[in-house]
Amino acid sequence: MLWTAEEAQRATGGRVQGDWAVSGISIDTRTIETGDLFVALKAARDGHDFVAQALVKGAGAALVSRVPDGVSADAPLLIVDDVQTGLEALGRAARARTSAKVVAVTGSVGKTSTKEMLAAMLQDQGKTHAAVASYNNHWGVPLTLARMPRDTDFAVIEIGMNHPGEIAPLAQQAQPHVAMVTTVAAVHLEAFEDVAGIAREKAAVTSGLLPGGVAVLNADVDTADVLRAETAGCDQRWFGQVAENQLHSVESTTDGLRARVSVAGREHALNIQSQGAHFAMNALGALVCVDALGADVARAVASLALWSPVKGRGARLELDWHGGVLTVLDDSYNANPTSVGAALAVLAQSKGRKIAILGDMKELGPEEKQMHAALAALDAMQAIDTVHCVGPLMAHLHAALPVEKRGAQWQSTAEALADLPSQLKAGDILLAKGSLSVGLGKLVDVLRDMSDARAN
Q: Quickly list DSSP for 31-80.
A: T--TTEEEE--BSSSBGGGGHHHHHHTT-SEEEESS--TT--TT--EEE-
**Phi, psi for 14 (deg, rounded to 5):** -85, -170
Instruction: Please check whether residues 67 and 103 belong to one and the same domain.
Output: no
Residues 188 and 106 in one domain: yes
Residues 193 and 249 in one domain: yes
Structural domain includes residue 34: yes
CATH at 52: 3.40.1390.10
Cα torsion angle, 275, 276, 277, 278, sign: negative
- Asked if 245 and 352 sit in the same domain, the reply is no
Question: What's the pTM value of the predicted model, to 2 decimals?
Answer: 0.78
Q: Is 332 within 8 Å of 351 (Cβ atoms)? A: no
Task: Mark the binding-site residues for ATP, compressed into ranges.
Answer: 107-113
User: In terms of domains, do 157 and 204 share one?
Assistant: yes
The answer to whether residue 92 sits within a structural domain is: no
Does 335 share its domain with 296?
A: no
CA 222-225-231 angle, to 5 degrees, is 125
Residue 268 maps to which CATH number? Answer: 3.40.1190.10
The answer on 148 and 231 residing in a single domain is yes
Indicate if 402 and 429 belong to the same structural domain. Answer: yes
Flag whether 368 is in a domain.
yes
Q: Which domain holds residue 129?
A: 98-305
Residue that is last in its domain, among 81, 113, 141: 81
Residue ending a domain, among 81, 108, 126, is 81
What single DSSP character describes residue 42? B
Residue at 93 is within a domain: no
The annotated binding site is made up of 107-113
In a domain, 136, yes or no: yes
Tell whether 75 and 104 lie within a shared domain: no
Are both 110 and 73 inside the same structural domain?
Answer: no
Q: How do strand 24-26 and strand 257-263 relate by DSSP bridges?
A: unpaired
- Domain assignment of residue 280, yes or no: yes
| Residue at 285 is within a domain | yes
Q: How far apart are CA 334 and CA 316, in angstroms?
A: 16
Domain end, chosen from 271, 287, 305, is at 305
Based on the fold, state whether residues 229 and 371 are members of the same structural domain: no
Query: Could you give the number of structural domains in the chain?
Result: 3
Please give the chain's pLDDT, 456 residues, in tens. 999 999 999 999 999 999 999 999 999 999 999 999 999 999 878 999 999 999 999 999 999 999 998 899 899 999 999 999 999 999 999 999 999 999 999 998 888 889 999 999 999 999 999 988 778 999 999 999 999 999 999 999 999 998 899 999 999 999 999 999 999 987 767 778 899 999 999 999 999 999 999 999 999 999 999 999 999 999 999 999 999 999 999 988 777 789 999 999 999 999 988 877 888 999 999 999 999 999 999 999 999 988 877 776 777 888 888 888 899 998 888 888 888 988 898 899 888 999 999 999 988 888 899 999 999 999 999 999 999 999 999 999 999 999 999 999 999 999 999 889 989 999 999 999 998 889 998 999 889 888 765 544
Q: Is residue 192 part of a domain?
A: yes
Q: Are 201 and 227 in contact (CB under 8 A)?
A: no
Rounded to 10 deg, the angle between the 277-292 and 111-122 helix axes is: 50
DSSP 8-state symbol, 34: T
Instruction: Kindly state whether residues 300 and 321 are assigned to the same domain.
Output: no
Among 186, 185, 82, 91, residue whose Cα is nearest residue 146: 91
Task: Work out the angle at residue 213's Cα, subtended by the Cα atoms of residues 211 and 219, and round it to the nearest 5 degrees.
Answer: 145
Strand 77-79 relative to strand 36-39, pairing? unpaired
**CATH number, position 428:** 3.90.190.20
